[in-house]
A and B are shown apart, each in its own frame.
Chain A
Amino acid sequence: MRRAELTAHAIALGLLVLAPWWLSPYDLSLLGRFLAMSILALGLTIVWGWSGLLSLGQGVFFGLGAYALAMNLKLAALAPGDLPDFMVWSGFSRLPWWWVPFRHPLVALAAVVLVPAAVAAAFGWLVFHRRVRGVYFALLTQALALAFSTFLVSQQAYTGGFSGLTNFGPLFGVQLADQKGQTALYGVTLVLLTASYALATWLSKSHFGRLLVAIRDGENRVRFLGYNAAPYKVAAFTLAAAFAGLAGALYVAQVGVISPDMVGVVPSIEMLIWVAVGGRESLAGAVLGCLLVNFGKDWVSSAMPSLWLFVMGGLFVLVVTVLPRGIGQLVSVRVPRRRPAEVAPAAQELAGQ
């Protein structure tokens, strides 16, 4: 990193660390959950920005992480032997077997990352090893998001159905909804975001990161050089899913509720606009875009709720047609060091079309 970049990162981190002292509790709670979502945005940068795999199903992995932690928190609110209310209504007398492990907070915390990663790895392997790509991949991830949210709604006895999971108990003895719990969660979120950011930055400079970009720009060339592209794509998709799961857990801990309408088709695609606004290849852009869009959404929705969809729709059209490299394009007049993305189709053509 150059010195100017380092300084900018240090200032941003400093502002975020000091945020509990200069923001109102309401704004801090917003910032906390948006920072959690930024972790998911970092994953999208890896999978979409670098690898060119447009995933319309990140909400699924966000949801898996969120539900994994929410199941533990739901059980923690109950006396031993009691069942969650929606299970009682469905006439259950015992906890379903797959809920049982989530009694232990450590198991739930591990599941937050492992379950989304496992699902993504399985799905990714099925898709990528048959060299399904581009639009086909995007549409399949969209179908995954639809299937996941309808599944959650339909299995009301197991998942709480349409209203999802809420009324949570403590985690490790800390009441998360308290002022103290919220501040602690903000700290945890910031630490995990910084760690994810550092990991992603390191990856971007690694052999792995460069191969992802190479696969995006000319998959056949990479294959002719002797690489099998599929495992790299699976790894990128899996890592992004793990980030999304982490984001989901941090989100649900701060907000105190998770329901199917936060993980379906529409929210999954909404996540892309965060990254698109910030510039799809830039990690800093992902965080910045996520914060900008979400604070903007909060501001617009509280002023005029019906306006938000118009704004977001307009953003999608505008960013894609006019600013394909995000808002960075507006401020930066420097010549990009990388080859511009427009070169890519020509390279592919050379490679075999």
Chain B
Amino acid sequence: MTELGLLVTQLFNGISLGSILLLAALGLALSFGLMNVINMAHGELLMMGGYVAYLAYRLPIGPWRLPAAMLAATAGTAAFGALLEMTIIRRLYGRPLDTLLATWGVSLVLQQGARSLFGPVGVGVTAPAWLDRSIPLRGIGLPGVGLPVVRLLIIGLAAAVLAALALLLARSRWGRLLRAVQDDRDMAEALGVNSRRVDLVIFTIGTAVAGLAGAALALIAPVTPTVGQSYIVYAFLVVIVGGLGSLTGTVLAALAVGLLSASLQLFATVSTADVLLLLVVMAFIQVRPRGLITRLSRALEEA
């Protein structure tokens, strides 16, 4: 493999990692920006999506198995997310650090539950044959380099989800309500917006995205009870770097963290890259403590 080939591969890996991080972080960023809630169980919702996809994928329905698995993962996780919001998160409104701890408790229960149900060994979704190959780049002068179709699919999925969300926020009624509540909760309520219902809908959408991300992850790596944990800290870093609940910021941050992590791995081991990544994020918040994209506000402080 040539040096250029290696570079292209890492670049592609970075974008691929970035799109997974984006799918994982979108729900976090949404609920953090709107409700000031940090959902520590978000990684476990990813895991849940993976397991639901694994179960649905075993249905004997031929070529529809893959879309069915993705749909089931999205819907199942969304239902659980709605339940979580109604039972626990709603009670802790205005106490962000307490939601963090309570959802951490939920994540422990979900992890151990998955371990009891499915065992500690990972299960996987075997990608169908048309996904399980790569597109060679020999034609454009990069012999030995190939782009795996699965990862292309995930990048496409992330782009589609992002487009759908952007459209939802910009054009739909719920999007308008969301922006109203995010800008000024009290004023929106005074104008008759049921802000609690907006919270519920947005939180559920966030968890649905997590479920879809989990199903996508199941295609490229085995689903284990702890799979959520391996992504969640990076997803949080994405939220920090991206800024308070801004979609653009989240997208930029996900790509930046993904590319940075992949390019650090060019000359350092995976774990050293982790440490360096944290150092870079620490340096970054020295410059922009509120993240890449911040909302203009006259308030003295936010969050």
Residues of A participating in the B interface, judged by any CB pair closer than 8 Å: 52, 54, 123, 126-127, 130-132, 134-136, 138-140, 142-144, 146-147, 150-151, 153-154, 219-220, 265-266, 269, 272, 276, 306, 309-310, 312-318, 320-321, 324, 345, 351-353
Known: A309-B108, A312-B108. A143 touches B236 (CB 8 A): yes
Contact A135 B303 (CB under 8 A): yes
Q: Taking A139-B239, A321-B91 as contacts, is the C-beta distance between A316 and B272 under 8 angstroms?
A: no
Does B233 lie within 8 Å of A143, measured CB to CB?
A: yes
Please choose the segment from B48-56, B175-183, B277-285 that sits at the chain A interface, where 4 or more of its residues have CB less than 8 A away.
B277-285
Interchain CA distance A195-B102 in the complex, whole Å? 33
User: What residues on B are CB-neighbors of A266 within 8 Å?
Assistant: 229
Cβ of B274 and Cβ of A140 under 8 Å apart? no
> Can you name 20 A-B residue pairings with CB atoms under 8 Å?
A54-B100, A134-B97, A135-B96, A136-B285, A139-B236, A140-B285, A143-B236, A143-B237, A143-B278, A144-B278, A146-B278, A150-B271, A151-B271, A151-B274, A272-B101, A306-B115, A313-B110, A313-B112, A316-B104, A321-B91
Residue in contact with B88 in the complex, picked from A131, A147, A306, A317, CB distance below 8 Å: A317
Q: Indicate if the CB atoms of B236 and A313 lie closer than 8 Å.
A: no
Contact of A313 among B107, B277, B281 (CB under 8 A): B107
B233 near A265 with CB under 8 A, answer yes
Residue A345 contacts which of B94, B110, B286 (CB distance < 8 angstroms)?
A: B94
Residues of A contacting B203 in the complex (Cβ-Cβ under 8 angstroms): none
Whether A139 pairs with B271 at a CB distance below 8 angstroms is no
Evaluate contact between B233 and A150: CB separation under 8 angstroms. Answer: no
CB-defined contacts of B36 to chain A, threshold 8 Å:
135
Interface 1/0s, chain B 109-124, versus A by CB < 8 A?
A: 1111101100000000
- Once bound together, how far apart are the Cα atoms of A151 and B110, in whole Å? 27
- In Å, the complex CA distance between A150 and B229 comes to 13
How far does the alpha carbon of A69 sit from the alpha carbon of B107 in the complex, in Å? 34
Q: Which of B61-114 contact A (CB under 8 A)?
A: 88, 91-92, 94, 96-102, 104-113
Question: Once the chains bind, are B274 and A353 in contact (CB under 8 Å)?
Answer: no
Most chain A beta-carbon neighbours within 10 Å: one of B88, B108, B271: B108
Q: Which residues in window 287-302 of B have CB below 8 A to A?
A: 289, 299-301
Q: When chains A and B are docked, how far (Å) is the Cα of A321 from the Cα of B100? A: 12
Known contacts A138-B97, A150-B274; is A309 also within 8 Å of B106 by CB?
no
A residues less than 8 Å from B88 (CB atoms)? 317, 321
Cβ contact within 8 Å between A320 and B274: no
The answer to whether B108 touches A139, judged by C-beta atoms less than 8 angstroms apart, is no
Residues on A with C-beta less than 8 A from B269 are 154
How far, in angstroms, from A136 to B278 measured CA to CA in the complex? 13
Q: A316 and B96: CB pair below 8 A? A: no
CB B99 to nearest CB in A, in angstroms, measures 8
Chain B, Cβ-Cβ closest to A129: B286
The 3 A-B residue pairs with the shortest CB-CB distance in the complex, in nearest-first order: A316-B105, A154-B271, A352-B300
Chain A residue nearest in CB terms to B94:
A345
Nearest A-chain residue to B278, judged by Cβ: A147
Q: Which single member of B38, B101, B112, B270 contacts A309 (CB below 8 Å)?
A: B112
The answer to whether A220 and B301 touch (CB under 8 A), given A139-B236, A144-B278, is yes
Are A135 and B289 neighbours in the complex by a CB distance under 8 Å? no
Q: Which residues of B contact A54 (CB under 8 A)?
A: 97, 100-101
Q: Confirm or deny: B57 has a beta carbon within 8 angstroms of a beta carbon on chain A.
A: no
Closest Cβ of chain A to B105, distance in Å, is 3
Query: Given A135-B36, A316-B104, A352-B300 in contact, is the A309-B271 Cβ separation under 8 Å?
Result: no
Tally of A-B Cβ pairs under 8 angstroms? 133
Q: Does B240 contact A (CB under 8 A)?
A: yes
Chain B contacts for A153, CB-based, 8 A: 271
Does B1 reach chain A (CB closer than 8 Å)? Answer: no
Chain B's closest residue to A353 (CB) is: B299
Please give the distance in Å from A258's CB to the nearest CB on chain B. Answer: 18
**In the complex, which residues of chain B have a beta carbon less than 8 angstroms from the beta carbon of A276?**
101
| CA gap between A132 and B275 in the complex, in Å | 20
> Nearest Cβ in chain B — how far from A249, in angstroms?
24
Select A147's contact among B101, B112, B274, beta carbons within 8 Å.
Answer: B274
A136 vs B302: C-alpha distance when bound (angstroms): 12
Cβ-neighbour of A146 out of B91, B94, B101, B233 (below 8 A): B233
A130 to B289, CA, bound (A): 6
B32 within 8 A of A: yes
Query: Looking across the interface, which residue of chain A has its beta carbon closest to that of B112?
Result: A309
Using A54-B97, A154-B269, A321-B88 as known contacts, say yes or no to A136 and B240 having CB atoms under 8 A apart: yes
Query: B274 is contacted by which of A134, A146, A219 (Cβ under 8 Å)?
Result: A146
Q: Contact: B105 with A320, CB < 8 Å? A: yes
Smallest Cβ-Cβ distance to A152: which chain B residue: B271
How many Å from the CB of B89 to the closest CB on chain A? 10
Smallest Cβ distance from A193 to chain B, in angstroms? 25
Check B282 against A126 for contact (C-beta < 8 Å). Answer: yes
CA distance A132 to B303 in the complex (A): 10
- Asked if B240 and A352 make an inter-chain contact with CB atoms under 8 angstroms apart, the answer reads no
B105 near A317: Cβ-Cβ < 8 Å: yes
- Across the interface, name the chain A residue whose C-beta is closest to B89: A321
Most B Cβ at <10 Å: residue of A146, A220, A276: A146
With A139-B240, A306-B115, A353-B300 as contacts: A130 and B271 at CB distance below 8 Å: no
On chain A, the residues within 8 Å of B113 by CB distance are: 310
Indicate if the CB atoms of A316 and B101 lie closer than 8 Å.
yes
Q: Across the interface, do A315 and B105 meet the contact criterion of CB distance under 8 Å?
A: yes
Kindly state the separation between the CA atoms of A318 and B115 in the bound complex, as whole angstroms.
22
- Residue of A with least CB distance to B288: A130
By a CB distance below 8 angstroms, the chain B residues around A219 are 301
Whether A324 and B98, one on each chain, are in contact in the complex, defined by CB atoms closer than 8 angstroms, is yes
* Assembly CA distance A294 to B240 (angstroms): 33
In whole Å, how far is A109's beta carbon from the nearest beta carbon of chain B? Answer: 27
- Contact between B289 and A310, CB atoms less than 8 A apart: no
Q: Which of B32, B107, B275 has most A Cβ within 10 Å? A: B275
